[in-house]
Structure 1
């Protein structure tokens, strides 16, 4: 039977968990048949009720296996406090109205510490629940009492809990009671076609080393101090692909002189940007659930330099360059100087990255999730 899943974010929201949602359940190559919901942008109307939805192959369809999510117009989203539970009840009501409970065999819970998961638990209380743990879930649960409560509720209700790394399992057990028998280690994956047909790489035209940062600009991801240090190095150009509002805020707070801003790129454009640079910087300061951006970069032949935090260290290991970026700009300056003097080192790291990325095809992730879904329905 069909899966039901969703996140309480508008389409186009940045983040690896949203991209994984699209890869697994939406788009032309989706491997898991599912109905998916997201939040409608402010001031927009919700989609039509499910019984009136067009046939699966009709243009604009959001029937099972469609390439777009159903959009639910539910106001009042917040992170903490009594208003959060009011919002959850409204979202649960919208889900019940939009999706008939009899049509689904299993519920996939995403973002365990946010509104979509408790809403799904209330909308489909008798269905088997498969929980997929993403990094922001645990980070928010560690910092916010309401999110910790939601995480515990989700873990208690789920028949199986999927973590992409063992580091995630360790932190999960610290935050919510979860016996090992219900925890399954299934690594996230990247599109198979990216592994088989990566973009053509562009060689350097000059001597400068082309560095790239790609991702959110939250406190856990990067800071202006690092960007300024990298952009000020001799023989280096630094590009940043990040959400516009986050980049503007960081620039206004500290100034980002010498940084080339690329905008927030579409997935194909980001892959092409990977092929046009020499090194990706992943300076995460806290646990990463998996590191999809880093693995996608490796699939595109872009070597990765990273802060060896839990999750990333497990996924990347020695297929990338671990550097303690908290030690100050000297550490990255020495690494960049080494790579400029020894271009063959980049080729070696690139080859190791290709091999590492090949370990994580999306088809395997989907196959293992499907098998686990069938198991908990039995």
Structure 2
């Protein structure tokens, strides 16, 4: 069966046009934007359907010759809490329905979009590919103490999506195992499609020049966090680890800087306000700097400024921040969980920490800061490792997943 020529990609709750790090925008946005662009470069027509939340954005935004972002009106034309979106799924599917007739495959991202795709798959008899990005049962299993659980409606929705999707794409073999273990996905239903990294934007760079450009002292020891400010991402672990580094070696205070870049996100957005208070309680308010989200070109410079990038998430389906940092030649210290085990080559491009004990994080980060020669070796390995991931490869694997979905759907219609 030939590859499809036109794809209806659904990203209901967040637009690929949004800036990562703002609200619910993050790695999923980057994934959808980069994948759609690379598929368009192969001559596929891709329409990315997203919920209209900004009246100033045109109905259709042309990304390139073959890729469009289409605004779908469902509910108020405004930003609303993600928890309210399940009540708008039927409206979204109905509004989108007249526009999917000339597409050959539906590709949904995240569970809200997946439920819309289920409806359209039935009504239009189209093959369905779904990418989870994160899963409720995995997040609930790995959540930190006191953190909110994912709602039952999401767990039920994801189970329905797995039951109906023709192909499920997983970032890693670990994620494929989670789909089988938590949701009963079949082996022939899963395609492993690793994400990529934009190597044109993120690449090895000149640290002294970047520090001079952004006003960071040349002798500073810089730990960097990038991401949405929410309990799942656990930037508080880095604050506690930094406090321990200062406590163990007080002379380090003059040089040490922990820079946290990102904006509050999700139902626990108020949690972000506890972080400056935590830094003050631990006596390192002068060490920790909070910065809002940055455009990607500026974010590149902040990666370049850093000595080590921390990714202490409780769970990541892959961890694009870890990959971007490594593409810039920066060692990464990350939690030994989920996709981070694949994004970071432990001991060769950075270090994996088995949990969230600040003492263990301080030990790992300190070992990199205290060994400039070893840090350079890790950074060089990180750049080589990251270069093996490309969005072009992601697009090629996704095309194969689309063809597999067409075959699976044909078999289901004509056993």
TM interval, shorter chain, is: 0.7 to 0.9
Q: Output the TM-score relative to the length of structure 1.
A: 0.84
1:2 aligned to 2:3?
no
Q: Distance in 2 between matches of 1:306 and 1:253?
A: 24
| 1:247-262 equivalence runs, <5 A | 248-251=272-275, 254-255=278-279, 257=285, 258-262=287-291
1:172 aligned to 2:179?
yes
Q: Distance in 2 between matches of 1:183 and 1:307?
A: 25
User: Does structure 1 retain, via aligned residues, the 8 Å contact 2:238–2:310?
Assistant: no
Q: Distance in 2 between matches of 1:216 and 1:299?
A: 20
Cross-structure match for 1:372:
401
SS for the counterpart of 2:259 is strand
Q: Which has the higher contact order (CA 8 A, sep 6+)?
A: 2
Change in 2 beyond 3 A, CA 1:291/1:30: farther
What is the RMSD computed on CA atoms of the aligned residues? Answer: 2.9
| 1:240-279 equivalence runs, <5 A | 240-243=260-263, 246=269, 248-251=272-275, 254-255=278-279, 257=285, 258-279=287-308
User: Does structure 1 retain, via aligned residues, the 8 Å contact 2:223–2:308?
Assistant: yes
SS for the counterpart of 1:178 is coil
Q: Distance in 2 between matches of 1:4 and 1:20?
A: 15
Deviation at 1:244, TM superposition (A): 5.2
1:159 aligned to 2:166?
yes
Deviation at 1:91, TM superposition (A): 1.1
User: Does structure 1 retain, via aligned residues, the 8 Å contact 2:109–2:130?
Assistant: yes
Cross-structure match for 1:71:
71
Cross-structure match for 1:93:
94
1:227 aligned to 2:247?
no
Change in 2 beyond 3 A, CA 1:219/1:251: closer
Deviation at 1:27, TM superposition (A): 8.6
Change in 2 beyond 3 A, CA 1:30/1:303: farther
User: Does structure 2 retain, via aligned residues, the 8 Å contact 1:138–1:172?
Assistant: no
> Which sections of structure 1, spanning at least 5 residues, go unmatched?
54-59
Cross-structure match for 2:121:
124
Tell me whether 223-232 or 150-159 shows the greater mean CA deviation: 223-232
Deviation at 1:72, TM superposition (A): 1.8
User: Does structure 1 retain, via aligned residues, the 8 Å contact 2:38–2:395?
Assistant: no
1:21 aligned to 2:18?
no
Cross-structure match for 1:210:
222
Cross-structure match for 2:323:
295
Change in 2 beyond 3 A, CA 1:147/1:28: closer
Q: Distance in 2 between matches of 1:220 and 1:265?
A: 20
Cross-structure match for 2:383:
354
SS for the counterpart of 2:362 is helix
Deviation at 1:237, TM superposition (A): 0.8
Cross-structure match for 1:57:
none
1:321 aligned to 2:351?
yes
SS for the counterpart of 1:326 is coil
SS for the counterpart of 1:190 is coil
Deviation at 1:63, TM superposition (A): 9.1
Change in 2 beyond 3 A, CA 1:62/1:91: farther
Q: Distance in 2 between matches of 1:107 and 1:252?
A: 43
Deviation sequence 1:290-324 (CA, Å, 0-9, x none):
11110111011111011111221133132211234
Change in 2 beyond 3 A, CA 1:345/1:88: same
SS for the counterpart of 2:200 is helix
Change in 2 beyond 3 A, CA 1:156/1:280: same
1:201 aligned to 2:225?
no
Deviation at 1:24, TM superposition (A): 1.0
SS for the counterpart of 2:50 is strand
